Structure formats: C-alpha cells, structure tokens
Chains A and B, each alone.
Chain A
C-alpha cells in the first residue's frame, strides 16, 4: 500500500510554532534589503536609530504577555487594525516587519514559481515567493490596546478578503512601487468606495523613485485629500511616520462622524 501516506499537515503546528514566521517562509531577503527591518538588537555600528529614549522602547516587550497571573487573568487588549495593501513585491511584509514587535506571521502559504508570470515582480526583483494571503504583525500600544497590521495583496482577485479585513479597520496604507503602479488600482478603488481612510505610500527602493510624486498622484487619479507620501519600508521610523499619517486621516474621519 504505497499510496497511503500519513497526512503531515497537522504534524507541523506543535513542533514548530515559531516556524511560521515570514522570515522562515521567505528566507532571508536576497536583495539589498537588510535583515527584515527589525531593529532588534540595535546594531552597534549603526547610528540610524537614536539611542533608546527614556520612555522605554516598546519593541522588546514580549508580545501579549502581561505577567502571567495564575489566579486572575488580565483582560485581553482591545485590538485595532490598519491594513497594508499593495501589489506583489512592493514591500508589504517589510513594512509590517519594520515596526511589528513580533516577526511577521502569515496565515497562508506562499505562492511559488507557479505564480510567476501572473504576478510578475518586475525586473528589479529577485523574489521567487510571495504571499497569497496575509502577513501580519502587531504593536502593543499599552496594556489594554494592541495595534495589528495586516498586509494584503492589492490585486482584484484577492478582493474577497478585503471586506473581512476592512471591517473595523482604522485605515489603510497602500504601498506602491513607483515603477509598477498598476497593481494597486483595484485596492485604491475599493478603499475609496468603502470610505476607508487611506494613504498612498511610495516605497522608495534604494532611495530612488522612478517618477516624482506629482506624476504618481496623477497616474493613480487620487484626490488632493488623499495623502501621498514617500517612505522607506525598511526603516522603522519612516514606517511609523507613515502610519501616523494614516491615523491622522482616521482621526479626521472619526471626529467628523462624531460631529455629524
């Protein structure tokens, strides 16, 4: 009976809980992107990030573990979420990884070479795998509030996931690569129709932009009210500032709704 194989799907989970991090799945990036953006042990020779300010850096706080109380249990944090959308290979996972306190996790398998040609990451990318579902990470804001970041592909055929993702989201960041804008049109349309506050972030690969921001705004046909910012997905502070722009938009909407 050589046709009977024990199903090895459920065998994976318990042994390797950590094995499902995006880093394990995608391997170390072969391109110029340095170790997935996390400022984990601040590199001694790297002055890029200012030395930890007194208001304790939140990064090393071990995720959702406020001391284990054996008897009484802490109430779970209130979750809020921001979506990170964009086409293949534009740097969604890198964006999430740059600011998340956990290595980005993914809920689905990666797309392998089978998808190449359909989802062409462009000439400048050496990517052989990409995400078909969602990468996500989180930032613990305080004991009772936790921010989740969900990365989602921006092509129309992933639209079935957007309703679930957008429900209750504070806002969205649409990541675009200035040399391949077309991937993000469907998701921009979707957010516009759904009334979700969003910001377009142009990921400046190696600091270069193929087009200037005005040309990109024109090409995307987004209104003047939609912020268009340039950022570096590998840089924690750059990602943080871009998310703050998203939150600013979210706040505008919330106060407007409240006033109405």
Chain B
C-alpha cells in the first residue's frame, strides 16, 4: 500500500507545492490541508524560554571556530543547519527565516548551541538606542543611499 506513490512521495515535488506562490482564486479556494509536520516546539522538547533572554531578533551569532566537525555531525540536522548558517555573522531573525523555524524555537536552539560551545552569541553592550553617536552613524549611512 503506497498512498504516496504519485508526486506526493517525491520530496522535491512536495516542497515545490508548498512554496508555490498563491494564485489568486485557485489557491484561495483550495481546502486547508491542516498543519504539516511536527509542531514547532517539538525540536526544543517543549521549552519555550531560552537559556538567555537577552538574545533578540537582531542579535548577531557566529560559529565557534574551535568546534569540531565530528561533534557537529552528530547533532540533529536542524542544529547542523543553524551552525552552517553561522559561518558568517548572522542575526537570529535571519537564522529563523532561513531555516524556516519559528523564532521562539530558533532562540532556544541558539541558546542551546551556545551553551554547548558551538556558537558564539554577540550580545553587545546593550542599549544602543540611547547612544547619539550610533544614531548619527545610522543617519549618515542612510543619507548615503541614493
């Protein structure tokens, strides 16, 4: 009994269907297939609070250079994907978007990976919003856009 015999079983095909841009009318009237895959917080074993609440959307993350590849290879694919993305400095929001994980899930996983020594989380000096110098630099940078 292979109910997936058609295009359904081919992962390529299925992914393409999921990502297809909605066509006005046609897609809107299609029946809702319901949630797919496991619920988001399964990956964190149900934890919703990160080890470090200071990790924000824009917090920059990099891979820890010392991390051994053997160790990384033993991690679940989601975590490996996160580490792979962090080869260059990247924000937690971007990790969340690119791995298509819920932001809350990403934050917990990043906290875990940091605790395990795989990632470096760059929590800056904190309140940039109160630094006029920083704001002036942003203003100058935006003015240069044409």
Same complex for A and B? Answer yes
Measured CB to CB, the residues of A under 8 A from B are 1-2, 5, 7-17, 19-20, 24-28, 30, 49-50, 52-53, 55, 57-59, 64-65, 68, 73-81, 99, 105-108, 112-114, 126, 128-129, 133-134, 136, 138-139, 141-142, 145, 147-148, 150, 164-165, 167-170, 236-237, 240, 243-244, 247-248, 250-251, 254-255, 257-258
Whose C-beta in chain A lies nearest to the C-beta of B15? A12
A139 touches B142 (CB 8 A): yes
Measured CB to CB, the residues of B under 8 A from A are 1, 3-4, 11-12, 14-15, 18-19, 21-24, 27-29, 32, 36-38, 56-62, 65, 77-78, 81, 88-91, 93-94, 96-103, 106, 122, 124, 126-132, 134-146
Q: Which residues of B contact A107 (CB under 8 A)?
A: 93, 96-97, 102-103, 106
**Residue in B81, B101, B146 whose Cβ sees the most chain A Cβ within 10 Å:** B146
A8 touches B37 (CB 8 A): yes
Report the separation of the CA atoms of residues A129 and B128 in the bound assembly, to the nearest whole angstrom. 35
A78 touches B134 (CB 8 A): yes
Partner of A65, one of B88, B93, B132: B88
A170 touches B128 (CB 8 A): yes
Contacts A28-B21, A80-B58, A165-B57 given; does A236 touch B129 at CB 8 Å: no
B21 touches A26 (CB 8 A): yes
Q: Which residues of B contact A77 (CB under 8 A)?
A: 60, 89
Partner of A254, one of B28, B37, B135: B135
B141 touches A168 (CB 8 A): no
Partner of B22, one of A27, A53, A134, A258: A27
Report the separation of the CA atoms of residues A126 and B23 in the bound assembly, to the nearest whole angstrom. 11
Whose C-beta in chain A lies nearest to the C-beta of B143? A244
Q: List 27 A-B contacts (CB under 8 A).
A: A1-B1, A7-B38, A8-B15, A10-B77, A12-B15, A13-B98, A19-B15, A24-B21, A26-B21, A74-B89, A76-B60, A77-B89, A107-B97, A108-B102, A126-B24, A128-B24, A133-B103, A164-B56, A165-B57, A167-B56, A168-B127, A236-B145, A240-B142, A247-B138, A254-B131, A255-B132, A258-B132
Contacts A64-B89, A145-B138, A247-B135 given; does A9 touch B21 at CB 8 Å: no
List of 7 A-B pairs having minimum Cβ-Cβ separation, nearest first: A9-B37, A27-B21, A141-B141, A76-B89, A105-B97, A76-B60, A79-B58
Contacts A10-B78, A167-B56 given; does A250 touch B145 at CB 8 Å: no
Report the separation of the CA atoms of residues A145 and B128 in the bound assembly, to the nearest whole angstrom. 11
Q: Which residues of B contact A64 (CB under 8 A)?
A: 88-90
| Apart from the given pairs A12-B18, A128-B27, A169-B129, 11 other A-B contacts in the complex at a CB distance below 8 Å | A8-B14, A9-B36, A10-B37, A15-B15, A58-B144, A64-B90, A68-B88, A77-B60, A141-B141, A148-B91, A237-B146
Q: Which residues of A contact B137 (CB under 8 A)?
A: 141-142, 145
Q: Which residues of A contact B106 (CB under 8 A)?
A: 107
Q: Which residues of A contact B4 (CB under 8 A)?
A: 5
Report the separation of the CA atoms of residues A58 and B140 in the bound assembly, to the nearest whole angstrom. 12
B2 CB to closest chain A CB (Å) equals: 9
Q: Which residues of A contact B141 (CB under 8 A)?
A: 58, 139, 141-142, 145, 147
A8 touches B11 (CB 8 A): yes
Report the separation of the CA atoms of residues A55 and B9 in the bound assembly, to the nearest whole angstrom. 52
